[in-house]
Structure formats: structure tokens, C-alpha cells
Structure 1
Amino acid sequence: MIRPGQRFRNHLDDHLVHLHKNLYISPSDPMYYDKVIRYVDPNSPEAHYKLGQRYQASGNRKRAIFHYKQVLKTYPSPFYSAANRAIYELENSHTALMETAAAAEAGHARKPILPPFMKTLLIVLFIVNLMLLTLFFGDKAIGTTVSRLMKWGTGSSVTYETVDVPYIMYISPDTAKSDLESTLHKKALELSDDLPDQNIMIYGLAATSRGDIGKTVLLTNDEMMKSAFVIAEYHPATDSTVKIRFLNPQYSQHQPQSALGANFVRTALESYRSDHGYLPSSLEELFQSYPDNYISFIPLEAVSGSADISPIYDGTGGGFTILPQRC
């Protein structure tokens, strides 16, 4: 999907739905159907049916029936029959429940004054009282008798103190979140193999040098924790899950910026190859006079803010490219 006014396609937009004006939302948003009704179509049969299902699952019968009835107002629709059937089931189940409650109340009214449970309870209390009388008036004192008959046990509560073992892991800002989550999960499991009784903490930092990407070392400077944009925590002795939290909002900015810059240059290179049958020997060949120009500038690299191009990676920022020689 290419938004109005955009020149190039953004791969992030493939997971969004255009609802209203500048409102783009993911279908996985818990409030997606609420927003569809509010901003797009207040009579949407699909949105009302999905909301009816949600309220029915949460036990809110009144709201569920309301949304199902809204679906019936948009006949014909793919959700008409399902909504009608859901209303029928909800109303019948409610009627059956009311009848059962009424029958139960009527049954309670006809019950005897003293139910069997109370009779059993009175018999047990009578036997207990006889035992107490025997203990009081027997040959031995009650304290001695109870001590001899019952050995009181002592419970225990055990707490294991753990030590946090912090690490830092350098991650490329261009890494997709799904790949990042998988990488942190795998690394936490690897580190816990050597420290099964410790609490593993991994602080993810944006790598400024390609040689640092994937490097994981012990945290020696607490100030570096402030630069972390994601934290992974794992304590296998008490929890079987790796908890991952994203902290720094700049991560979500770097990723689309880097991706857009890379796609901008890739598009120019692909256009050059389509016209000439081969890639340029250098990027300078893309900067020609009109109409032979393909790009007019090199986008800034998101982390370093540099637009310098080098044929080799030197870790100073910007971008680097290796173009094949012409045949």
C-alpha cells in the first residue's frame, strides 16, 4: 500500500488498514472494530458482529444482543444468519436460566424445616460434645490427652535469594522486531544454561558499528542501561518465560527511517539496471543531468546521521556499498 502523497512504498504499511483521513490502524488492535464503527461505518455488520462476540465471551449479554441486533438492520450481509442464531441462543439460554432459578426457589419453599445436612451436623456436634465431656471428667487431664493424641506439625516457607546478572547486547537498529524478539529469547536461554539459578538481564543497545552487532558482554557501566531500548529478563528457576520489554521510542523511529533510505537507493539502482542491463560501477553514476538522473541525494543513515558512502565498512557511520564490476 502506498499512502497518498508518498513516492515510495513503506513495507510497514502492509500491516495497517486505512480507516479515516490520517488514521491507520493494525487489525490486531483490541479496539479495531470499535474504531471502525466510530470513524468509518457506524453500521458495519462485521464490526457489530465481532463486538457482539466479544461481549458474549465476557458475559455481557445485554451489550452482545445490542450489537447482534445492529447486524440484523443491514440485511443482507454475510453475518446476518450468524447474528440471528446468536440472539436466539442468548435469549433461550437466559429463559432457561430464569426457569431453573424459579424452579430452584420453588423447591426451596417445599423443603422441610430441618434438611438432612443439618441433621447430620447436629449428630456430629452431639458426638463431639460427648468426647469433650469424657476428656474433662476422665482419669487424665485434657492437656495431656490432647498432646498424646495429636502431634502438631510445623510448616516451612523457603525463599531463595537470586542475583541479577546484567548483560548488554548490541543490536542493529534495522532489525525487525520479530527477529529481535527471537534473538533475545535465544540468547537468554543460552546464558541461563551456565547460570541456571541466576536472573539473566539483557539490555539491548543500538549498535553504532557493524562489527559490534550481536556482541553480548557483561554490563560494567550502569549508565549504559539508560541507552537500552529493550530489556529481556529470564529466571528459569521461578519462571519458564523470557520477559521482553521495549523501552526506547527511538527504536521505532530508526527502523522505518533506515528501511526507507535503503529502499530509496535500491529503487534507483534497480531502475539503472533496468535501463542499462547492469549496475553502475559507482553511485556517482546515479547523479547525472536530467533526464539521465536517478537520485538527487543520498539519505542520511538513521543512527549516525551521516550520508557518506564508502566501498568498505569502516564503522564511522553512513553507508557502504560494493557494486559488481561491469562485464
Structure 2
Amino acid sequence: MRGENHTSMAQFILIGFSEDPSLQPILFGLFLSMYLITVLGNLLIILAITSDPHLHTPMYFFLSKLSFVDICFTSTTIPKMLVNIQTQRKDFSYSECLTQLYFFMIFGGMDNFLLTVMAFDRFVAICHPLNYSVTMNTHFCSLLVLVSWIIMFCVAMLHVLLIKLLTFSVGTKIPHFFCELVQLLKAASSDTLVNTICLYLSAALFGVFPATGILFSYYQILSSLMKMSSTTSKHKAFSTCGSHLCVVCLFYGTGLGVYLSSAVSYSADRSMMASVMYTVVTPMLNPFIYSLRNKDVKGALGRLLSRAISFPS
């Protein structure tokens, strides 16, 4: 009974960052601060966009959805980690682990899809401006988001169902701070060939292809900008892409770049640092990137804060 189990009796031990008791308060304070900044920053972006009629456009519609997904994405891992640090517990039940994995994959995939859709939106706006209002209509934008949700719900469920077929030893140790798919496959005591094949297929379909789509979109955008004769028009067109391009570089640079390097020479510590970068740091920085580089968002945030300050009086 103790040797192996793949039912609800199975339990995982999340090793986390450090077992040194003196570092636990520092880790708790650091990640709590980052989590609160992430939630507050993205909530402000959502409130600014929904409350300002000037921002009721496809570009900001997708940005509000990205901010919502970033809040959920971070919330799948950090609160549980904070509880574990505070209670000095590292155990994680089988059902809790699969639930966390399911939602983590959904929101992580939605981040990927939304960044791709936002690149397509900028491509249509700059390369085909006369058809922009017709192509990127409200119905089509909502449909893109809805289809993305449906795809990720199905893909995440497929991976979870495949994980349920695996066998794990009771008290399996996972060198991570949350239940990550790759780490679960490494910890399984049964054959993971099917899971690994599905993992690589998912990485190709929902990682490589979206990244290729973003690169193609910006190649077309750059080509269109080079054909513009007015410097002012070039600057105005590219300024609408600057924030998105920064977020794309941050997301893929931290998520893919560090993981590819860790695949060459695997290290549990390096893998955890990579996860922190794209699960915590990137969602935390996104609101700052969009608010600091975008005049429309800065103006909306200013009006929102002004109304909030003057409301009591």
C-alpha cells in the first residue's frame, strides 16, 4: 500500500525554495509583496479600461482580459505557497495537485493565446487600417477569446486525465514550489511516454506556433512601417506596439529561454527560478509596462484615481 498509489491517497511533498527556517519569513514577505502588487496593478488596469469609454477598443479589450488572466495565473500558485510557508507544511494532496495543475495550464495557455491575438490585432490595425473596424469587430474579438478558453479547458483536461493514469509513490517529493506538469512526469513511477508525447505536441501547438504567429505579425508590421513616409506616422503606429512587444519579449524570454537552457543542463533551482520569472515577475510587470509606455492607459488611470480621491467629498 505504501509503495505506489495513483488514487486520492497519494500525496506529494513540495520541496520549495529553501528549508532554512531563517529564510522563510523573507520568502513569505517577498512573494506576498509581489503577489499583492500583481493583483493591485492588474485590477487597476481592468478598472481603468472598463470605466473609460475611450479605451473600449479591441486592443484594450484584449488587455483587460490579459490582466484578468494574469491575476488568475498568479493566484493558482502563490497563495498556496504562502500558506505552506506560513504553516511550515510541504504536503500537497493528489486532488489539490491536479486541480492546481489544471488551472495553471489554463491560465498559462490563455496568456499565450492573448499575446498572440493582441499581435494579430496590431497587425490588422497597422497593415490593414481601412478594414480594421470591420475585421476586429466586437463579435469577432469575443469569439477569439471564447475559442481560446475552450481550447485551453480541453487541453488542460486532457493532460490531467493522462496524469490520473500514472502511478506515484506515496510521499513523492517534487523539487518545486507548485505542481508543474514536467516535474510530475519526472516523479511518476510508471511509464510516461504518452504524457511526454502530448506534452511536446502541446508545446509545439501552443508555444511554437503562437510565437511564430507573433513574429510574422511584427515582421509585417515592420515592413508596413518602413513603407511609411511620415516619421510621425511611424512613431505613432509603433508606439501602439511597444508595450505589447515588451510583454511578449518578457513572457517568452523568461518562459522559453530559461527553460530551454535548463533542459540542456537540468537544475531544480534553475527550473524554479524560471517558473518564478514567468508566473510571478512577468504578471507583476505587465501593468507597469502598459501604464508607463501607453499614454491612453496613463490618462485613464489618472482619471480613475482622481475620481477615487474625490469620491468621499
Superposition TM-score, scaled by structure 2 size: 0.20
Q: Which has the higher contact order (CA 8 A, sep 6+)?
A: 2
Give the number of the structure whose residues are more often helix, by fraction.
2
Superposition TM-score, scaled by structure 1 size: 0.19
